[in-house]
């Protein structure tokens, strides 16, 4: 399974690791992902999502139903 947030679409990005002597080597920056179960009261069921910390904040702010609808419209959530 890929490391992509199902709410925000956040994924791995690449960059440089810079040493004290300013020598650069490639590295990856991983999103802060967690596997979490959410209850959808409209459908009366639980759903398991791989979400980032920012995605959890969006769900807390908007609600799970609206956040899933927005993620489907953006193409991040495909279930």
**How far is residue 37's CA from residue 39's CA, in Å, rounded to a whole number?**
7
The mean pLDDT of 5-11, rounded to a whole number, is 97
pTM, two decimal places: 0.86
Q: What is the pLDDT of residue 73?
A: 96
- Looking at the domain covering 13-74, what would its CATH class be? mainly beta
The mean pLDDT of 17-38, rounded to a whole number, is 98
Alpha-carbon dihedral sign for residues 43, 10, 32, 28: positive
The mean pLDDT of 27-53, rounded to a whole number, is 97
């Amino acid at each position: 399974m890929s490391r992509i947030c199902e709410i925000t679409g956040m994924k791995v990005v690449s960059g440089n690791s810079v040493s004290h002597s300013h020598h650069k080597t490639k590295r990856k920056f991983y999103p802060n992902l967690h596997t979490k179960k959410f209850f959808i009261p409209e459908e009366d069921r639980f759903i398991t999502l791989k979400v980032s910390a920012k995605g959890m904040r969006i769900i807390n702010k908007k609600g799970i139903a609206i956040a899933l609808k927005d993620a489907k419209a953006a193409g991040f959530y495909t279930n």
